[in-house]
Amino acid sequence: MHRFKKFTALMICGVFSLSLMSCTTKPTDTEASDITNVFEATTTVETSESTTVVIETETSATSESTTETSETTTAATTEATTSASETSTTETSASSSASETSATTSFSGEITAVYTKNPQEKKNYILYNEVFGGTLTASAMNKGFIGITIPSDGEYLYDHIPDDALEFTLFYDERQNLTLRDLQGRFLAATPTGDLILTDKPVEDNYQFWRLIENESGWYIINEGAANNQTLQYSDGTFSIKTCTNTKEFVFNFYEVG
């Protein structure tokens, strides 16, 4: 009897142990479903976090790439602008240099006479009209003389003085009347008929005398014997005497010949 009770107790313990093992090893359907849901939720969260990190990284990289591209483009534009500016400056400098060279070349010949503001007695001068760049020759034409041009910059006459250009020496008498004599000793004079002449001997009635009236840009050369302020004039390539007006063809400067 005693052994039977002991065996029965052992059997009950074994069945109970098997029941516990069965409960631990195999979950119920509800428990399995809950475990699956938890796993899927965990996976989704991890995937979402990973995706977010990747997107943020790509966006940052794109932003940095865009910034670098913008900086590169800006630098390239600046360099191009600077290069264009330097090129423009170089061209302007070259243009200015060419202009200066051209101006210098126009008066690059030998200096043959020097501008004199106040002409003096017993010195030789070229009578020069600044507007037309002309001086007298001894070739008669239209009651006067043909003019010839000589290059000038307002300070000097350049190049060789033509052989037929007239040089005049200034002389004053005791009354301060001025005579103009060329290198052959001839007087520049007027006539009662209004001609401009060169004569070997003095003429009557002061036609060989002149007076100088200063103008802001030179001198009027007025004949003392002629009526109505007959004044030396250079117009249309010819020197003559006409009634003086306030125009530049009546204004002359004296360039001293060395």
d(CA 150, CA 131): 12
**How confident is the model at residue 205, as a pLDDT?**
87
In the chain, count H helices and then E strands.
2, 14
User: Is 114 within 8 Å of 142 (Cβ atoms)?
Assistant: no
**How confident is the model at residue 201, as a pLDDT?**
87
**How confident is the model at residue 11, as a pLDDT?**
52
Output the pTM of the full model. Answer: 0.59
Hey, which residues does 257 pair with through a beta bridge?
113
**How confident is the model at residue 27, as a pLDDT?**
44
d(CA 182, CA 179): 10
pLDDT < 50: residue spans in the chain: 1-10, 12-78, 80-105
Identify the three-state secondary structure at position 146: strand
